[in-house]
Structure 1
Amino acid sequence: MVLLCELEGAKDYPLVIHPVGSDWERKVRAHFTRANGTLNINSYYEEMVGFPYSSSNSESSSDSDGSGNDSDCVIISPSEFSSKNPNNRSLIVADSVATISTSMETSSRFTYDEFVSTFRKVIRVSGEGGEDRVIVDLVAEGEFVTTVNEREPHYFYMYTHVLQTLNLRLPFNSFECQILRVVNVAPCQLHPNSWAFLKAFQIACEDLDVVPTVGIFFCFFHVKNVSPHSLVSISSQPNKGRFSLYASNFKNYRDTFVRFRCGAGYPELMFDASITPLFPFYWSSAPRLIKGT
């Protein structure tokens, strides 16, 4: 049962943002312009934006590395979930720690319509219905993941690198929304490696025919600490680790965030039936320290 493909082969994103019209962009465009004057779009955008310009709609391609190597396989014994009331678990929550991040002031590379439209062509983001149900907006110059929008329409930030690598789909499912609410963080505030734990846990539960819940999850994981200058990370409880660590951490992802918001007639991307937010949309100044269940 392969839970997560190793991230070692994932292409790192460029370290520097090169706007359209810059010397670097012109050199890249010239390099990938064919003799007949046409532009090699695939290679150009792979160099500029950081992801290959090819179809990613096939979910099966991201579910396995195809190598037959089971070194990244994880087995969870069904006995670990033998409680008669697996959902009746009380969270141990430490005092909230007020934080204001100063190290997250990284500009996004998605400040041009051209880059956003290319991302939409390449990466599938909607898990149900058409892709037009999820609107992706570009990010303004000087706008960061810590920016809070107090006006409508509301939106939330998410790293495109995380969506692409982990094959996440929008809207977030009930379990993912519960985790964000309990920890009190926006989607972009949860460290990408922690999103990988959530993904692996859900796949394991599905294989064991167990409904993933916050109570079960925090039997094995906790929010170890909250730093005022970093994303919120989820790690394994001492001596209760269920998953083998993957070989490579996420790198160079902090400039890959874009805005996501509801398309026409699709409020369930962000709100429940009573128009209550499903999770914090914007950077939280008081994430919760979850010590376990």
Structure 2
Amino acid sequence: MYETILVDLEVTLPFEFFEADVLRMLGIAPSQLHPNGWAVLQAFKVVCMALVVIPSALVFLSHYTIRVSKKVGWVSLAPLPNTSLFSTYMAPYKGFKGRFVKIKAVEGNSFCVDPRPLPLYWREPLKFKGLLRSHLSLEARVDL
């Protein structure tokens, strides 16, 4: 993980269901998601908390698709047309790549609150272009 994600964005371990589900649905390791993507995840969680709604990966991903950088393989979250939840960042993250922190789970524990495995190594993300709202449950659509 990159230090900025833990320190500046206050992402904590073990990951909650929401973060773990997003990473699993995208098929990526936590360190593969660009810090801007982590910022959007954190912002979504704050909005859900304010609205007293449980954060849902399905609802979140009905607003975003992914972009993969050709050079390195970073995965960025890009808003789907006409569904942007947040405005774009004024200042990009710089210098975070040199601040990598290796994290090891204590024996018998997981990186997530649930026991399902999480991708831990960089790989090609799953083909993902966003979720159609029509595929969401009625309850999830109400949360939109």
Indicate whether the TM-score tops 0.5.
Answer: yes
* 1:280 corresponds to: 119
User: C-alpha deviations, 1:227-247, integer Å up to 9, x for none?
Assistant: 342300001111211112232
Distance 2:15 2:59 in 1: 19
Is contact 2:36–2:76 with CA below 8 Å preserved after alignment?
Answer: yes
5+ unaligned residues in a row in structure 1: which ranges?
1-157
Task: Report the Cα offset of residue 272 of structure 1.
Answer: 4.3
User: Structure 1 residues 259 and 292, CA, compared in 2 at 3 Å: closer, same or farther?
Assistant: same
Q: What does residue range 51-200 of structure 1 map to in structure 2 within 5 Å?
A: 158-200=1-43
Paired residues in the alignment total 130
The two structures have a TM-score, normalised by structure 2, of: 0.81
User: C-alpha deviations, 1:126-159, integer Å up to 9, x for none?
Assistant: xxxxxxxxxxxxxxxxxxxxxxxxxxxxxxxx00
Distance 1:167 1:272 in 2: 20
User: C-alpha deviations, 1:173-217, integer Å up to 9, x for none?
Assistant: 111001111111111100100000000011111111121112111
User: Structure 1 residues 271 and 172, CA, compared in 2 at 3 Å: closer, same or farther?
Assistant: closer
5+ unaligned residues in a row in structure 2: which ranges?
132-144
Higher relative contact order, structure no. (Cα contacts within 8 Å, ≥ 6 residues apart): 2
* 1:139 corresponds to: none
1:259 partner letter: K
User: Structure 1 residues 261 and 270, CA, compared in 2 at 3 Å: closer, same or farther?
Assistant: farther
Distance 1:227 1:264 in 2: 34
Identity %: 38
* 2:68 corresponds to: 226
Q: Which of 31, 42, 53 is 1:210 aligned to?
A: 53
Give the SS at the match of 1:195. Answer: helix
Distance 1:183 1:176 in 2: 11
The runs of at least 4 aligned residues of structure 1 exceeding 6 Å deviation read none
Give the SS at the match of 1:290. Answer: coil
Task: Report the Cα offset of residue 258 of structure 1.
Answer: 1.7
The two structures have a TM-score, normalised by structure 1, of: 0.42
1:201 is the counterpart of 2:50: no
Is contact 1:261–1:270 with CA below 8 Å preserved after alignment?
Answer: no
Larger radius of gyration: 1
Q: CA RMSD in A?
A: 1.8
Give the SS at the match of 2:82. Answer: coil
